[in-house]
Structure formats: C-alpha cells, structure tokens
C-alpha cells in the first residue's frame, strides 16, 4: 500500500511527505518553488514510466546515453485534464538500443506503469471524513 501525508505547514504552505522521509512542497501556480497538484500528477506519470523503462532497458544491455521525458496535459474543463502526453527525449547508443528502448517503453506504458494505468482505467477516489 502506498501512503503520503499532505498537510499545511506553519508558514501557510503545504507539503507532502512519505514514510521514508522525502517531502515535496505543494502550492498554487502563482507560487515559486512549489509543485501544483496537477504538476505532481504529471510528475507521477513520468516518474512511473521512466523508473521502469531505465532498468529494463539497461537489463537488456542498452544503457541509454540520455533518458528524459516531458509530460503534459491541457485542462479541458476548469477541474479536468484532457489527454496526458508523455514525450521521451533520449539519446541512444545504437540502432539495436533504439529497438529495445521502443519495445520496452511501449510495454511499460501499456502494462506496467501503475500511475498511467490507474488514470486510464479511472481508479476510484474515495473520501473518508472524520
């Protein structure tokens, strides 16, 4: 099970923390040095894909020279995103690495990225009030 705690800080901002001690500042789009909740969602999609693609590609003998991505989405309604687009930025050491990377990235997108799959399948979000 995955859990994070999100709370208001003494300074009036917000922060998310996990059990391993990592934290990220959350705020509005007009604030410096913070992620908006939508940016964190996009980061989760990108992070899930990239941390799965990298070791699987390397395991097949192809360490990519550069592996990065941009994840974007437009709001189609004030409180709803349209299609989330993942765009890889890679530098490949060979043509064979290109084939392996493309196959791995497609498989990760289709089957293994929990975040993307949850978004695509419409995971229920339940509210529990005290």
pLDDT at position 11 over 90 = no
What digits encode the pLDDT tens for the residues 15-41? 999 999 999 999 998 989 999 999 999
Helices (DSSP H) in 68-129: which residue ranges? 95-107, 114-121
- Residue 9 CB neighbours (<10 A): 11
Task: For the chain, give the mean pLDDT.
Answer: 95
């Amino acid at each position: 099970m995955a859990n994070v705690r999100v709370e208001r800080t003494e300074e009036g901002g917000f922060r998310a923390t996990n059990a391993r001690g990592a934290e990220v500042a959350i705020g509005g789009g007009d604030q410096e040095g913070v992620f908006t909740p939508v940016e964190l969602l996009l980061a989760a999609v990108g992070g899930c894909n990239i941390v799965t693609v990298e070791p699987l590609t390397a395991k097949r003998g192809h360490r990519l020279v550069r592996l990065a991505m941009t994840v974007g989405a437009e709001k189609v309604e004030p409180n709803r995103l349209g299609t989330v687009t993942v765009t890889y930025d890679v530098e490949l050491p060979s043509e064979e690495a290109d084939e392996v990377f493309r196959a791995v990235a497609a498989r990760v997108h289709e089957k293994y990225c929990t975040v993307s799959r949850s978004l695509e399948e419409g995971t229920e979000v339940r509210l529990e009030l005290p």
